[in-house]
Chains A and B, each alone.
Chain A
Amino acid sequence: MVNSKARRAMRLTAVLKQVVCVLLSLAVVAPLYLVLINSFKTKGEAARMNLNLPTQWVFTNYAEVIKKAKLMTGFGNSLLYAFASTTAGVLLCAMAAYVLSRKRTKLNNFIYYFFICGLFFPVNYVTLVRVFQWMHLTNTHLGIILVFTSAMIPFCVFTIYSFVETIPTELDEAAVIDGAPPTMMFFRVILPLLKPTLMTCFILQFMGVWNDFLTPLYLSSKSKLFPMTMSVYQFFGKEGSNWNYVFADIVMTVIPVVAVYAVGQRYIIGGVTAGAVKG
């Protein structure tokens, strides 16, 4: 008697849990579905912003937007910023984190904590613009890439540093006794062992740069430097009444990050939570 009551209560909680999760899933999916389905509608139909299927599928919206919003430039810039800065950033941070973790002098510990501060503190973009002027980096791709590279140092050093701790130092010693020069030893022996954490950093930072809006907002005043996020925003400002175009533009901006998410999901979840377990 008691048992069947308990079982019924358990079944009820299971049903309730499913209801909560299904409702939340709907809340997540509905806005995304709205964007996708309306990107195939005519202007008039898209302006009604509902979830109905298009009465007439307008696939040409995409071609129109690619032309109108200069999406090729935006896509090229986003790809350049994300790829160049993330490759450079992850590699440089691996080198730095390795030395910081292995050689814990007072100075190096200070540098480590100095880097970690960047996880919390905001970047002062107003004076960064001034620094750009001094260095003649104003409105250059290189300047923006360097800022993105610099911005990922705190997270990457933090993440890679704790991973280096799991690699036995005997490896370094053995390689040195073999007579390998330290730099070569790092690239041949240590770097391959860091691959999982480097993947995590690469994927998370790639998405971070792709999604960033504030950096190009302050540091690029010419449209030839705009990444996708900026060109979408500009396009929204200009063509905000053409929701079919705006939505098509959104779909094309989001597809690359969703693809990266789909491919690298296990690295992302692992990386986001790397610090959560250790506390």
Chain B
Amino acid sequence: MNKKKVYPQWFLLIPLALYVLFFLLPSVLGVFYSFTDWSKSTPKTGLHFVGLKNYIEIFTSSKSYSSGILNTLKFTVVSNIIKIVPALFLAIILFEGMKGMGAYRTLFYLPSIIPFVIIGIIFTSVLNYKNGMLNGALQAVGLGFLKQKWLSDLNVVWKSIYLVDAWRGMGYVMTIFMTGLSAIDKTYYEAAKVDGANFWQRLWNVTLPMMRGAIMINLVFGVTYGLKVFDIIYVLTNGGPGHATEVMTTYSFQFYGAGQYGMATAFNSILLLVTAVAGILIVRGMSRKGVA
């Protein structure tokens, strides 16, 4: 059979063109422009090559730019642990079978179909200090001493962001785990039970190794989501109070808004590099576990 004729190569043409124009080209240009003084006044002053100036500014400035990078990394690690660990147990609980399992699964997944912007606005209300539902609920059940200025107290604001993020994302992570669980052959568990393995031994020796695929998916999507996080922080805190919750993407957007495009795209290029490194680390780590 003549493959050339049966599978027309031109089928690739349009997607490839779109992808190169709107994904590859901006990424490459972004790295290029990050070494320039590109700004809104460039049409008048011309574009100049400035070497590493933008990067030096990001890493050495007295402003908290570099903490924006650290915050991105912190958010990526913490938000994923907060979602993945409880979601795993929740998936196991639901999967073992209980009344209303289907309804619970549908309900827990529901928040992840709502736009981040909307969730941000909803929780601006829920976390409002004076009238918000959370403080109201705490007061009502006699836990008034736990009331917080959820979005303006420096010591609490990150916890609020993690809370909202988990509210949206945990059901999604759980759903992926449940599919992973459904693919495990039941006989493994029967064999483990015969051997007298307890819950934790079964989890460690059967469930986790057999769920490599699901764990991998959750890690990869979780990490890339975490590194790119923007909407939820932009709407909930807009990087505040002060610059306490600023991340790479919010800084990039600010510089973009201020017309300092070179700086904005330097942040994006750092993000690109961090994503590449994280991707390589995850793939390496998972394949090594596969050998053992």
Residues of A that sit less than 8 Å from B by CB: 14, 17-18, 20-21, 24-25, 27-32, 34-35, 47-51, 92-93, 95-96, 98-100, 102-103, 108, 111, 114-115, 118-131, 135, 146-147, 149-151, 153, 157, 172-173, 176, 182-183, 185-186, 207, 210-214, 217-218, 229, 232-233, 236, 243, 246, 250, 253-254, 257-258, 261, 265, 268-269, 272-273, 275-279
A sample of 8 inter-chain contacts (CB < 8 A) reads A20-B90, A34-B126, A103-B3, A120-B279, A122-B228, A130-B29, A229-B115, A276-B214
- Are A211 and B115 in contact, with the CB atoms below 8 A? yes
Interface centre among B14, B98, B107, B128 (most CB of A within 10 A): B14
Contacts A124-B268, A131-B25, A269-B109 given; does A50 touch B133 at CB 8 Å: yes
- Which residues on the A side are within 8 Å of B256 (C-beta)? 125-126, 129, 218
> Is B27 close to A, CB under 8 A?
yes
Tell me the bound Cα distance from A272 to B218 in angstroms. 11
Residues of A within 8 A of B14 (CB): 92
With A122-B227, A213-B231, A278-B213: A30-B100 Cβ-Cβ less than 8 Å: no
A176: which B residues are within 8 A, CB to CB?
1, 5-6
List 19 additional A-B contacts (Cβ < 8 Å) besides A130-B29, A173-B1, A211-B116: A49-B126, A92-B14, A98-B7, A99-B8, A99-B11, A103-B7, A115-B19, A121-B224, A121-B275, A127-B268, A135-B21, A173-B6, A182-B7, A182-B8, A210-B115, A211-B114, A277-B179, A277-B214, A279-B214
Question: B133 near A149 (CB under 8 angstroms)?
Answer: no
Secondary structure dominating the interface of B: helix
Note all chain B residues with C-beta closer than 8 A to A236: 121
A272 to B231, CA, bound (A): 21
Q: How many A-B contacts at CB < 8 Å in the complex?
A: 258
Are B122 and A34 interface neighbours, CB within 8 A? yes
Whether A98 contacts B11 in the complex (CB less than 8 A), given A111-B16, A153-B19, comes out as: yes
Interface centre among A34, A120, A257 (most CB of B within 10 A): A120
| B35 close to chain A: CB less than 8 A | no
Answer yes or no: B245 CB below 8 A from chain A CBs: no
| Set B18, B98, B131: member contacting A47, Cβ < 8 A | B131
B240 in the interface (beta carbon within 8 A): no
Q: Which of A157, A232, A277 contacts B180 (CB 8 A)?
A: A277
Q: Are B231 and A92 in contact (CB under 8 A)?
A: no
Q: Flag if B93 contacts A149 (CB, 8 Å).
A: no
Instruction: Using known A-B contacts A18-B98, A213-B117, A257-B115, determine if residue A128 contacts B22 with beta carbons closer than 8 Å.
Output: yes
Find out whether the CB atom of B19 lies under 8 angstroms from the CB atom of A118. yes
* Contact call B98/A14, Cβ cutoff below 8 A: yes
Q: Contacts A14-B98, A258-B113: A124 and B93 contacting too (C-beta < 8 A)?
A: no
For the complex, is B261 an interface residue (Cβ under 8 Å from A)? yes
Interface residues of B in 181-240 (CB under 8 A from A): 182-183, 212-214, 216-217, 220, 224, 227-228, 230-231, 235
Closest to B172 in A: A272
With both beta carbons as reference points, the residue of chain B lying nearest to A172 in the complex is identified as B6
With CB as the reference atom, state the residue of chain A lying closest to B217: A276
State which size class the interface on B falls in.
Answer: 35 or more
- CA of A235 to CA of B98 in the docked complex: distance in angstroms? 43
Name the A residues within 8 Å of B22 (CB-CB). 123, 128, 131, 146-147, 150-151
Assess the B19–A150 pair: CB atoms within 8 A: yes
Residues of the B chain whose Cβ atoms lie less than 8 Å from the Cβ of A125: 26, 256, 268
B21 touches A150 (CB 8 A): yes
Q: Which chain A residue lies CB-closest to B248?
A: A122
Bound-state Cα–Cα, A236 to B234, Å: 13
Q: How far is the CB of B1 from chain A (nearest CB, A)?
A: 6
Chain B residues near A17 (CB-CB < 8 A): 93, 98
Chain B contacts of A21 at CB under 8 A? 93-94, 98, 100, 104
Chain A positions within 8 Å of B175 at CB level = 269, 272-273
Residues from chain A with Cβ under 8 Å of B65 in the complex: none
| Distance in angstroms between the alpha carbons of A149 and B15 in the assembled complex | 9
Q: Is the CB of B110 within 8 A of A96?
A: no
CB closest residue in chain B, given A21: B104
Residues of B within 8 A of A30 (CB): 133
Q: Which residue of B lies closest to A102 (CB)?
A: B7
Partner of A49, one of B133, B179, B183, B217: B133
Q: Are A254 and B27 in contact (CB under 8 A)?
A: no
Which B residues are in CB contact (< 8 Å) with A93?
15
CA distance A51 to B264 in the complex (A): 42
Contact of B268 among A122, A130, A183 (CB under 8 A): A122
Distance between Cα atoms of A210 and B167 in the complex (Å):
20
The complex places the Cα of A108 from the Cα of B256 at a distance, in Å, of: 37
Are A207's CB and B122's CB within 8 A? Answer: no
A233 to B275 Cα, complex, angstroms: 28
Chain B residue numbers with a CB within 8 Å of A269 are 109, 175, 179
Say yes or no: A120 contacts B275, CB within 8 Å: yes
Q: Mark B269-285, 1 if CB is under 8 A from A, else 0.
A: 10110011001000000
CB distance from A98 to the nearest CB of B (A): 7
